[in-house]
Amino acid sequence: MSQPATHLVKPPGGEVVPHRRGRAYGAFPDAMARGTLSRQLVLRTTLLVAIVAIVLSAITSLGIYQIQMQQLDQRLISSAGRTQPTSTGRGDPFGFGGIGVRIYSKGTTGAYETAGTGDLSDEALAQLAALPDITAPATVHIKDLGAYRVVVHTDSNSGVKVTSVFGLPLTEVVNTMTRQLIMAALLTLASILLAFFAVRSVVVRSLRPLNRLAATAQAVSNLELDRGEVTVPRVAAEDANPTSEVGRVGQAFNHMLDNVEGALAVRQQSETKLRQFVADASHELRNPLASIRGYSELTRRSRDELPEPTQHALSRIESESDRMSTLVEDLLLLARLDSGPNLDITRTDLTEIIVNAVSDAQVAGRDHLWRLSLPDEPVEAMADSHRLHQVVVNLLANARTHTPAGTEVTTSLSREGQWAVVSIHDNGPGIAPEVLPTVFERFTRAEASRYRKSGEKSTGLGLAIVQAVVGAHGGMASVASVPGDTTFTVRIPLAD
């Protein structure tokens, strides 16, 4: 057998369909999460500052290097012009550890003589003697001494090549540049860190109202707007200050919420009016209907004297006015339940209600089989006994009127956790699948109820009343139905 389809009816103000939760707003780590605006702003600004800082330090360092080299070269050229090379090799022609040396070498074999080599090793002298003319200072790595800027001038004097070499060490330039580069690196790092923290604090502070705005929007989207009076939350005044961009969004948002709340209030008002109208109309219809019923009943005694068609018409008037009275009573009850639960709540024993309702149903439906399944101990709920009785009566009446003779109807009562559960099962033909999903809605009836007996008052409001009453008690009504297996289940919170 296939699984019976189940349709739950939620109580008004009861459980809410869970909304898709957004990201948690407000906390900084979340705001910095991948892809958020604040994260992008912070990362991009920091990156920009880093690029600018690195480029600036590179340009500055290059400039300083060039100036240093120029100064060194100028000193070398002017000193070389003034100074005669010493014969002591690495003397001190410039006052601070430069070299000025004249090397005499014979032929091209590399054999040489000097006018005194001083501190310069033979290998260094050989290297220097091999140098070509260098008029514009150039960097040469002199053996054992390191990098020097040198100018070289060669002369030939009766077969003896005379090489005059002047040089200044690059050590000072290297030292200055090292200090400069370390400084530049530290400054770059400091500016990147500063930019990161400064931008982060500004961005976070200015986006915080946006997060609060998002939280408000989230709260609004979680509201149940479809019924009743609704109070819509607003963005706080300090977040709706039009002097900032975010504040303008907040202000626009509040205006929108004003609009929404206004519209909802108007809707609520017209709903209340409509409900009041239905209640008033039903109430006003009661008296004339009672008169019609009374008069048509009066004609019963003398009906035999009337012609056949008039007799039929009068009996139709009687039965239809009966049906209409039931309809009006049902409408009035629904209108009252709509405008607020207004129940007469007392501690109620459900066993008693069920026993009474089933014995009444037994009298009304002698061709059905009525069964009862009750627990030994009483099942008590805080409920309006009169309305709950009506719920059970409506369900039993359906089991009687929408099923053929011989149908078994089992009414049972049990406890399930905090619920008192009343279920009414019948093995009748079941509810048509096209009607099933909306069976608790007002005026839902199967197209042609094959088993409805003539004289039975079908309004299509019975189950709507069941749902409204059960909902007003904070309970749930549901149905599962396939041919041969129909169960209505009503859950009411147990009394504690």
Ligand X SMILES: Nc1ncnc2c1ncn2[C@@H]1O[C@H](COP(=O)(O)OP(=O)(O)O)[C@@H](O)[C@H]1O
Q: Which residues of this chain interact with ligand X, rule CB under 6 A?
A: 394, 398-399, 402-403, 426, 428, 430-431, 435, 439, 444-446, 449, 458-464, 486
For 409, the enclosing helix (H) or strand (E) is strand 408-416
Give which of ligand X, Mg ion, none residue 426 binds (C-beta under 5 to 8 Å, depending on kind): ligand X
Give which of ligand X, Mg ion, none residue 431 binds (C-beta under 5 to 8 Å, depending on kind): ligand X
Amino acid letter for position 165: V
| Residue number, 169 or 462, with CB nearest to Mg ion | 462
Provide the minimum distance between the beta carbon of 392 and ligand X in the complex, in angstroms, as a whole number: 13
β-sheet bridge partners, residue 8: 478
Provide the minimum distance between the beta carbon of 479 and ligand X in the complex, in angstroms, as a whole number: 8
Give which of ligand X, Mg ion, none residue 460 binds (C-beta under 5 to 8 Å, depending on kind): ligand X
| x/- track of binding to Mg ion for residues 411-450 (CB under 5 A) | ----------------------------------------
- Long-range contacts of 81-84, Cβ-Cβ distance < 8 Å, separation of 24 or more: 83/166
Question: Rounded distance, CA 490 to CA 70, Å?
Answer: 99
| Residue number, 96 or 443, with CB nearest to Mg ion | 443
Provide the minimum distance between the beta carbon of 427 and Mg ion in the complex, in angstroms, as a whole number: 18
| Residue number, 8 or 189, with CB nearest to ligand X | 8
Give which of ligand X, Mg ion, none residue 336 binds (C-beta under 5 to 8 Å, depending on kind): none
Provide the minimum distance between the beta carbon of 272 and ligand X in the complex, in angstroms, as a whole number: 25
Question: Rounded distance, CA 474 to CA 494, Å?
Answer: 11
Question: Rounded distance, CA 420 to CA 379, Å?
Answer: 7
Provide the minimum distance between the beta carbon of 282 and ligand X in the complex, in angstroms, as a whole number: 16
Provide the minimum distance between the beta carbon of 488 and ligand X in the complex, in angstroms, as a whole number: 7
| Residue number, 149 or 491, with CB nearest to ligand X | 491
Instruction: Assess contact for 132 and 154: CB atoms under 8 A.
Output: yes
Give which of ligand X, Mg ion, none residue 428 binds (C-beta under 5 to 8 Å, depending on kind): ligand X
Amino acid letter for position 108: T
| Residue number, 254 or 398, with CB nearest to Mg ion | 398
Question: Rounded distance, CA 38 to CA 31, Å?
Answer: 6
Question: Rounded distance, CA 64 to CA 176, Å?
Answer: 9
Angle separating helix axes 171-221 and 37-82, nearest 10 degrees? 170
Give which of ligand X, Mg ion, none residue 38 binds (C-beta under 5 to 8 Å, depending on kind): none
Return phi, psi of residue 241, to 5°. -90, 115
Give which of ligand X, Mg ion, none residue 486 binds (C-beta under 5 to 8 Å, depending on kind): ligand X
Provide the minimum distance between the beta carbon of 362 and ligand X in the complex, in angstroms, as a whole number: 16
For 156, the enclosing helix (H) or strand (E) is strand 146-157
Provide the minimum distance between the beta carbon of 401 and Mg ion in the complex, in angstroms, as a whole number: 7
Q: Which residue's entry shows tokens 């805080």?
A: 382
| x/- track of binding to Mg ion for residues 360-399 (CB under 5 A) | --------------------------------------x-
Distance of CA 21 to the CA centre of its chain: 4
Query: Pairing state of beta strands 369-373 and 408-416?
Result: parallel
Question: Rounded distance, CA 468 to CA 441, Å?
Answer: 10
Size of the site for Mg ion (CB under 5 A): 2
| Residue number, 354 or 465, with CB nearest to Mg ion | 465
Provide the minimum distance between the beta carbon of 460 and Mg ion in the complex, in angstroms, as a whole number: 8
| Residue number, 365 or 462, with CB nearest to ligand X | 462
Q: Give the residue at shortest CB distance from Mg ion.
A: 462
Residue 485: how many CA atoms within 13 Å on its side-chain side? 8
| Residue number, 9 or 150, with CB nearest to ligand X | 9
Give which of ligand X, Mg ion, none residue 402 binds (C-beta under 5 to 8 Å, depending on kind): ligand X
Provide the minimum distance between the beta carbon of 487 and ligand X in the complex, in angstroms, as a whole number: 9
Distance of CA 114 to the CA centre of its chain: 88
Query: Pairing state of beta strands 111-114 and 419-426?
Result: unpaired
CA distance to 4, 136, 217, per residue, from 464 (Å):
21, 107, 34
| Residue number, 341 or 429, with CB nearest to ligand X | 429
Return phi, psi of residue 70, to 5°. -60, -45
β-sheet bridge partners, residue 89: 118
Question: Rounded distance, CA 188 to CA 271, Å?
Answer: 68
* 445-464 residues near Mg ion, rule: CB under 5 A: 462
Binding stretches for Mg ion (CB under 5 A): 398, 462
